Chain A
């Protein structure tokens, strides 16, 4: 088991600092929850991961495909194209000697191929969301090269339609167990994007991740994205093997990158 874990590749997030606090990137066989206020970059990170999982093995990636389940309609194809282009230009920058490699591998590095390897599901209600996850197992049996499943966002449909909170808890815990099982059985990473809500605790209102206390136990790792002044930060809140840590990152025209060069940064929208 140990050798298996050591040979596990991680999915890079695009930002070196972020990769460091995550222990190399997003882990396969684990469910990672990413939450944050609107506008901090959750969908951007989700799209970046869907692209980064496709980086070919020759360039240090997993060479896998992605499943993107969109519940909010925030998957903008033009932006995905832009991020794919940014990822390709970074690969070519990092591997300048790849001109000697077979031109076949290089020809594959087209944004269109990256887009073609993302399986996109649009769900419009919570029943569709549950059905999509139930169908995932069959789908993954047929498409064994999928290495990441992203659900953006897992909260959306469970916030409005539900009157019965106990039912919601039951459904959500069943959902999370299924996702855990899929992650383990098909050796892929599951990334869940979550929204925030306010909670009254210790005499004041605090921002916490939505879906309640019982949902917070259903993931293996949790990453919280937040603003610190005009900078975006990520905080690793829960992990079985890594210490709690914080790292800055930026969302640029090319996608998620290290914070530092401030020319491309999108400023906080308040």
Chain B
């Protein structure tokens, strides 16, 4: 017996795209958001792609938070949209954002912003960055659901500046207390976070950047944390490493859906 209150199968399965529609969407609306760091942008093929989940992993103090801060500053400074920064280790530092913007003066040469005094520029940048502290996985779910709700409302109202970049630094510290051991829901929560993030990225044209840490893989090698189930989740994975006592970090691509790397 058909229940007339339920939506029909056609409504439930989401929009069906034709190949041409997909191509049009990809070339026209899925832009690359630059991180501001040349080497990383090159590896990423232009920057953080909208609609994709990018992961940056690496041992402690290898520069992951710096990549996040750079992307946030640059995207906000170029007025590409609003940045949402979810911080789990109280590392978001407005003075660091100010230093980054002051350092990248070529951005403003293009747009003729050098007329604006420094603090005005900084204020407009800070207004485009929403920073929230999340300290456990449930708070993260809460924030993501609220974000989803507000984005759906915006679609209806066609509101002002939309969010274009979502940064979570770091997602591994939120997932670490629940994964493994006798708590079986841990892994399922990790996968549901992954699904929500990918859905947000796809439906609302966001670029999602998450950071992960590394654990030892035996014999002194390191591998990204969060295990095998998480490996398949991000579209692009980068590993950062820093040599002892130097300021130079190297990035390696672990996985990229659009590029082929010689083995």
Contact = CB atoms under 8 A, between A and B. Distances in A.
Contacts of B90: 29-31, 180, 183-184, 220
A1 B131 CA distance: 9
B91 interface: yes
A213 B94 contact: no
A217 B96 contact: no
A216 B131 CA distance: 23
Contact of B88 (A177, A202, A212): A177
Interface stretch (A114-122, A150-158, A165-173, A250-258): A165-173
Interface magnitude class on chain A: 35 or more
Nearest to B183: A170
A30 to B, nearest CB: 5
A174 interface: yes
Nearest to A181: B135
Interface stretch (A67-75, A104-112, A240-248): A240-248
A183 B89 CA distance: 10
Interface in B150-187: 170, 172-174, 176-181
B177 A170 contact: yes
A167 B181 contact: yes
A219 interface: yes
Contacts of A213: 59-60, 213-216, 222
Contact of A214 (B95, B131, B181, B225): B225
Interface residues of B, number: 42
A253 B245 CA distance: 32
Contact of B61 (A170, A203, A238): A238
A215 to B, nearest CB: 9
Contact of B89 (A2, A178, A212, A218): A218
A19 interface: no
Given A166-B180, A170-B179, A180-B135, A5 B60 contact: no
Contact of B91 (A2, A200, A240): A240
Contact of B173 (A177, A183, A237): A177
Contacts of B251: none
Contacts of A176: 173
Nearest to B97: A2
A147 interface: no
Contacts of A244: 245, 247
B202 to A, nearest CB: 29
A201 B220 contact: yes
B65 interface: yes
A227 B213 CA distance: 29
A181 B135 CA distance: 6
A171 B179 CA distance: 11
A65 interface: no
B177 A173 contact: yes
A202 to B, nearest CB: 6
A6 interface: yes
B229 interface: no
A42 interface: no
A173 B91 contact: no
A218 B135 CA distance: 11
B126 A174 contact: no
B194 to A, nearest CB: 19
Given A2-B122, A170-B177, A238-B60, A31 B247 contact: no
B213 A214 contact: yes
Interface in A63-115: none
A222 interface: yes
B77 interface: no
Q: Which of B59, B89, B136, B225 has the most CB of A within 10 A?
A: B89
A58 B111 CA distance: 47
B93 interface: yes
Nearest to B61: A238
Contacts of A169: 176, 180
8 contacts: A5-B94, A5-B95, A31-B89, A166-B180, A173-B177, A213-B213, A213-B215, A213-B216
CB-CB nearest 4 A-B residue pairs = A173-B176, A240-B91, A2-B94, A241-B96
